[in-house]
Each structure stands twice: as structure tokens, then as C-alpha cells.
Amino acid sequence: MVAITAPSPIDQIPLMRCPKANAAQQGAVIPCVDLSAPGAAAAVADACRSVGFFKATNHGVPACITDALEARAMEFFALPTQVKLDMSGAARPLGYGSKNIGSNGDVGWLEYLLLSISSNTVKISSLPPPLRTALEEYTAAVREVGGRVLELIAEGLGLEDRALLRAMVMGREGSDELVRVNHYPPCPLPAPGDCGVTGFGEHTDPQIISVLRSNCTAGLQIKLRDGGWAPVPPDPESFFVNVGDSLQVLTNGRFRSVKHRVVAPEGAQPRLSVIYFGGPAPSQRIAPLPQVMRDGEQSLYTEFTWGEYKRAAYKTRLADHRLGPFELRSNRMPAPPSEQPASGTDPQPHCSSTSTSSTCTSTTTAAAGGSGVLPCHAMPV
């Protein structure tokens, strides 16, 4: 008789190379912007251009709102799997998911809730009422942060209509706003060498912006322009903003959507993150804003709507370069010196198609060090 052992779930989850960065590297590359300070618009625009990611402080969201959601979410994730499924339905893509991310074979060491929150109402009525209330209060507050960031971005881009981007996401009936709560339990098996277990594989967010908050547990990493991965030190009092693919297109590549990923917790503490995804209505045309284009500049992308892009994104794997099929490479042109990013960065609008894998067998490199920590709001203005 042959005994067949079912593979443990961890065997199916890829490893990623994630060398430990030292303390000096850890804070070196993450821009930090005080949203209430003078010069915030220029600092936000600079961070979106150079990294596609920044930490936002002085955001005005009271800690009691984030604490309440964290507590209710942990209670939910402590329930038996079947109860969680009964309450929220299996993620297709909305609902409760565990290990599988999307339906194209991506797996990670996490469980999650992905919910639509259009019109500030969580659409799943069978969630525990305290969790539902906490989610709605949280997303109402974080939507304000997202709105403020979009106004600062409009100002930083020099748009006359400062409300243009905000209105695309927050001002319209039918806009596509989602909230995702990710729970990464401590990972029981040590990964070999300098590898870690994939919590959430590398990807860009397809929307306009994402606003993320986590508990104190590390794990998030962002990909820098030199190809290195930088750890993002957790800061439960701040939010982290990602440029999404759609904002990259709206700015004709001036801002870049940042690749990011999560390594599963190596210590005893779980990681809990909550992400607000700001997407427009499905019929919204995603194309470079005429106001940002220089004379003679051509779009780097074919025309599409948010609905078309989202449908295409759902058919891909996480690490795929989802904008690739929409890129018009022949239209690339060098930026004039005044528009070149601050330091050591791509002189052209970002239009990369190098979708590198980051499993342990790949060539993913160490987290890059930066020279000097960027203190809060010290981005050049």
C-alpha cells in the first residue's frame, strides 16, 4: 500500500528572496509627506514621480477608528473558516478568500476580505454588524485621506481644476471603491536562506490610488527603480499611498505605479493590513489628462475604460505587467530637464515592461540602500 500525503498548503506557496535590510536601509527610501504642511503638493508629486509610493502623516484619521477596525477584523479572522465563508461568501473576487488570490493560480500566506464600498456602504449584509460598522467608519475616513491626496496630486501636477482627480473616484455615482482587509498569520515554517514565504506576491494596484494602513508587523516591500526591493517599516499611525496603474496612465507615465509585495510574518505576530482602493466608474476613460501633456506629446497608451482595464487585469497573474498590452512604445519621448525626477530615476515617463519574477530561483536582488533617510516632508519642493 502506498501512503499519499497531501501537500501542506505552505508547499504550494512560492518563496521570495527578501534579504534582511539593516536599520539604515529600512528608512532610506520611503518618502514621507506631512499632508497638512505647506509644500505638501510638490512633495506628493515628487514621491509619485520618483517612487510611486509614500507615507502620509498628519492625515486627520483618529486612532480610535483604525483601532476599532483592527479589533473587529481580528475577531472575524479568528472565526472558523466555514463561518467566515457563510458570512461573506467565497471571494469571486469579492468576499472571503484564503491562500488563493484571484482565480489565476496566485497563492500567498494570507486570508482576506475584499469588499465593495461604493456610496460608503459595505455591500455584504451578512457580515457581523460591529465589523460592518467599523469598516464603514474606517472607509469614510480613509476616503477623505484619498481625496486630499488626489487634490494634492492635482495641485502638484499644476492642474487648474484641483478637484478633477478626486471627483473621478469620490464624486461620482458608480465609482469603483474597494476595501481589502488582509490577515497574514505568523508563518510556521522558516524559509531557507535569505528567502521568505510569500504573503502577497508582487503586483501593482490597477486603480488610481490605494491607501494602506497596517498594524505593527513588518512585511510590505516596494520595488525601487534600480530593481531592488525595499522594506517598508510598519507605522500604524500613518497611511501609505500607492500610485495605481490608472494614475500612471492619467499622467502619461510621469507618475509610476509601484510594484509591491508582502513577505509572511516571520515572528509571532500576525500582520493585518487594510487597503482602500480608489477606482473610477467602469465607463471612465483612462487616458492621459490633456492638461499634463506637453506640446506634441503623444499618449503612451491605447485608449481604454476602467471597466475594460479591470476586466483585463482580472484575467492576469499578479506579477504580470498588466499595462503592457495597452502600451504604445513608439510614442515614447524623452522628458525635458525640468520634468526629470529628482535623483537617480528614470528620465522618461515610466513605461517598463520588465515583469521579473521574484521567487527564490529568480534574479531578484537585495533591497537597495539609499543615501540618507528622507525625513518626514523632506522631499524636495
Ligand X SMILES: O=C(O)CCC(=O)C(=O)O
Q: Which residues bind ligand X (CB under 6 A)?
A: 180, 182, 200, 205, 212, 214, 220, 260, 262, 273, 275
Q: How far is the CB of 231 from Fe ion (least distance, A)?
A: 15
214 interface partner picked from ligand X, Fe ion, none, CB below 5 to 8 A per type: ligand X
Q: How far is the CB of 119 from ligand X (least distance, A)?
A: 22
Grid coordinates representing 103 are: 482565480
Residue 97 vs 147, nearer CB to ligand X: 97
**What CA–CA distance (Å, rounded) separates 146 from 276?**
8
Radius of gyration for the chain, computed over Cα atoms and rounded to the nearest angstrom = 20
Residue 46 found at the interface with Fe ion (CB under 5 A): no
In angstroms, the Cα distances linking 302 to 33, 183, 249 are 33, 37, 10
Residue 207 vs 252, nearer CB to ligand X: 207
Contact track, Fe ion, 155-194, x by CB under 5 A: ----------------------------------------
Interface size with Fe ion, residues (CB under 5 A): 1
Residue 205 found at the interface with Fe ion (CB under 5 A): yes
- Of the candidate spans 60-68, 77-85, 205-213, 307-315, the one that interacts with Fe ion by CB under 5 A turns out to be 205-213
- Of the candidate spans 59-67, 71-79, 204-212, 352-360, the one that interacts with Fe ion by CB under 5 A turns out to be 204-212
| Residues from 206 through 245 that contact Fe ion (CB under 5 A) | none
- Of the candidate spans 27-35, 43-51, 119-127, 201-209, the one that interacts with Fe ion by CB under 5 A turns out to be 201-209
**What CA–CA distance (Å, rounded) separates 187 from 343?**
37
Q: Is the dihedral of CA 37, 32, 48, 343 positive or negative?
A: positive
Asked if the bond preceding 93 is cis, omega within 30° of 0, the reply is yes
Q: How far is the CB of 92 from Fe ion (least distance, A)?
A: 19
Nearest-CB residue to Fe ion?
205
Residue 124 vs 232, nearer CB to ligand X: 232
Grid coordinates representing 212 are: 494602506
Q: How far is the CB of 360 from ligand X (least distance, A)?
A: 20
Residue 110 vs 153, nearer CB to ligand X: 110
Residue 213 vs 350, nearer CB to ligand X: 213
182 interface partner picked from Fe ion, ligand X, none, CB below 5 to 8 A per type: ligand X
Residue 217 vs 252, nearer CB to ligand X: 217
**What CA–CA distance (Å, rounded) separates 73 from 338?**
46
Q: Which helix H or strand E contains 250, and what residues bound it? A: helix 245-250
**Pairing, β 53-57 against β 32-34:** parallel
**What CA–CA distance (Å, rounded) separates 220 from 203?**
12
Helix axes 129-156, 63-77, angle to 10 degrees: 130
**What CA–CA distance (Å, rounded) separates 137 from 379?**
31
**What CA–CA distance (Å, rounded) separates 321 from 203?**
8
Residue 166 vs 260, nearer CB to ligand X: 260
Q: How far is the CB of 223 from ligand X (least distance, A)?
A: 12
Residue 252 vs 316, nearer CB to ligand X: 316
**114: helix, coil or strand?**
strand
DSSP output for 116-149: E-GGG--S-TTS-HHHHHHHHHHHHHHHHHHHHH
Nearest-CB residue to ligand X?
273
**What CA–CA distance (Å, rounded) separates 155 from 166?**
11
Residues that bind Fe ion (CB under 5 A): 205
